[in-house]
Amino acid sequence: MANFITGIVCPAGVSNPTIMTTKSEGTGPYVLQSEVSGSSYTLRARKDYTWGPKFPGQPQGTLPSQLVATVVTDENAAANLMLTRAADVSAFQTSNASRVDGQKGFTATVQPVFLTYLIYNEAPGHPTASQAVRKAIAQAIDRAALNSAQTNGKGTLMTSLGTPGSTCTGPDPQTLIPATNTSAASKVLKGMSFKIIGSEILNNGQGQTYLQAALDNAGANASLTNLDNESWVDDLNSGKNDWDLTIQIETNGVGSFFTATPSFLGPVPPAGHNSGNVNNAPALAQYKKASETLGTTQCQAWLQMQADLLSGNDILPLSTAPNTLVFDSHVTGLGVGGYFQPGTFRIR
């Protein structure tokens, strides 16, 4: 079975791609028993399964013989199903998590699934092409307040560009993140106009709404267009450059140090993903070096790239956006990168 994050396809799928839509193949702990496309999937445990990863902290218990995964797009409905014990396991990104988390009979784990950054459009003609303006914008923002808006405070303020928990650490990059200073920001931003676009995927785009309010509060005139996630991605990758500011949302699934780096360095759209048109040659050189080396050398290159980007005010790390993974009391399991690992599910 293909893994949607890594793109790894089993040998049977490589030799005959058509089987990937018609039958269950691969080496996972479960095989597909039946499906209603886009609605529900029933998986049966392999009786002979003895291989696979040994996850640290694997809970004890009985491996479920069957998993029934139902697609429930409305988190209100998912919370209702959990509260009425019609579902055993569910993940939440919205405030619906609080309806279940903390209730008697449920255990919850909060894990970062997205990393968020403020991206400035540095293409010629945009007010954000000026470093002084970019710094002032960063000063106009209270990152904690923005976190409250876009994750209901469930996220963690990011102290670097990297994935939280990364083994590659160095000098505290927070010293390069401008502190909130509205009066200093106002001196630069007063009377300026900015166009913000963003995705509604996190809390219906409340992070962007906060950003607009913060800029208005600093004397600027900010307009906001919140789009569905797909349209937002299209716009960023179109190369139209019809925006000045956006909150970049990157998945944290793979767990590498800088999963988001191509989104703010390298080729610009439509050829690449550097939608902010960042042209930071020292940072790009370090990125290339990190891509070609390993170990300490690679780590040093990552950290220098980070310092170059932050000191150039090319990017502002904001906060993580978590998934809350909730289990009913008789079930347990693990999540990695904010996603369930169904092979770790156990019945207590």
Cis-peptide, bond into residue 270, ω within 30° of zero: yes
Q: Which residues lie near another protein (CB under 8 A)?
A: 21, 36-40, 70-74, 76-78, 80-81, 83-84, 86, 227-231, 233-234, 237, 262, 269-273
- Token code pair at residue 64: 């479920």
| Shortest Å distance, C-beta 183 to another protein | 38
Task: Give me the residues paired with residue 44 across strands.
Answer: 31, 66
Q: DSSP states of 99-163 as a string?
A: HHTTSTTEEEEEEEEEEEEEEE--STTSGGGSHHHHHHHHHH--HHHHHHHHHTT-S-B-SSSSP
Question: For another protein, which is the closer residue by CB, 139 or 203?
Answer: 203
Strand 106-120 to 89-92 pairing: unpaired
Question: For another protein, which is the closer residue by CB, 103 or 223?
Answer: 103
Q: Write out the H or E segment, with its range, that includes residue 66.
A: strand 66-70
Q: 233 CB contacts (<8 Å, ≥6 apart)?
A: 199
Count Cβ atoms below 10 Å from residue 203 Cβ, excluding itself: 20
Question: For another protein, which is the closer residue by CB, 9 or 129?
Answer: 9
Question: For another protein, which is the closer residue by CB, 49 or 339?
Answer: 339
| Shortest Å distance, C-beta 333 to another protein | 21
| Shortest Å distance, C-beta 60 to another protein | 29
| Shortest Å distance, C-beta 103 to another protein | 11
Question: For another protein, which is the closer residue by CB, 70 or 109?
Answer: 70
| Shortest Å distance, C-beta 172 to another protein | 29
* 221 CB-contact burial (10 Å; exposed 0-12 / middle 13-18 / buried 19+): middle
Distance CA 346, CA 348 (A): 6
Question: For another protein, which is the closer residue by CB, 5 or 179?
Answer: 5
Question: For another protein, which is the closer residue by CB, 168 or 227?
Answer: 227
Question: For another protein, which is the closer residue by CB, 17 or 171?
Answer: 17
Question: For another protein, which is the closer residue by CB, 228 or 292?
Answer: 228
Alpha carbon distances (Å) from 148 to 100, 143, 334: 19, 9, 26
| Shortest Å distance, C-beta 275 to another protein | 11
What are the phi and psi torsion angles at 224 (to 5°)?
Answer: -130, 135
Alpha carbon distances (Å) from 347 to 64, 178, 329, 332: 6, 48, 9, 6
Q: Write out the H or E segment, with its range, that includes residue 228.
A: none
Q: Write out the H or E segment, with its range, that includes residue 312.
A: none
Q: 118 CB contacts (<8 Å, ≥6 apart)?
A: 137, 138, 141, 211, 245, 246, 247, 248, 315, 316, 318
Question: For another protein, which is the closer residue by CB, 62 or 84?
Answer: 84
| Shortest Å distance, C-beta 274 to another protein | 12
- Token code pair at residue 244: 């000045």
Q: Write out the H or E segment, with its range, that includes residue 255.
A: none
- Token code pair at residue 226: 């919140």
